[in-house]
Amino acid sequence: MILHTVNKKHDCLQTCISVLGENDAILLIEDGVYATMAVNNGIDVWENIPASTRLFALENDLVARGISDKILPRFESITLSQFVSLTCEYDKVISWG
């Protein structure tokens, strides 16, 4: 089980998605939170992600960018302390960006 943190929404996100394993999760942080919105260049980035993959976005970064109310329902907005808890819950953390 790997927690993937992504801080940009472009190439590194696509690479991350391509290597997702069963029971992995993605946490979007910094500018990566822009990928929580419905489409990216007309393509739904999340449509082929298995339903078992947990998707998170850091609440502070959503608020800072003014997009808290625009994220897809599949994402769970989490606090910094929840972020720390996730790092303990997963076997590994891989940072993409």
CATH of the domain at 78: 3.40.1260.10
pLDDT at 40: 59
pLDDT at 97: 81
pLDDT at 53 over 70: yes
pLDDT at 7 over 90: yes
CB neighbours of residue 94 within 10 Å: 13
What is d(CA 34, CA 94) in angstroms, rounded to the nearest whole number? 19
pTM of the predicted structure, to 2 decimals = 0.91
pLDDT at 51 over 90: no
pLDDT at 34 over 60: yes
pLDDT at 39: 63
Instruction: Tell me the chain's radius of gyration from C-alpha atoms.
Output: 12
Total domains, the chain: 1
Question: Quick one: pLDDT band at residue 50, thresholds 50, 70, 90?
Answer: confident
pLDDT at 22: 87
Domain that holds residue 36: 2-96
Tell me which H or E stretch contains 2. strand 2-6
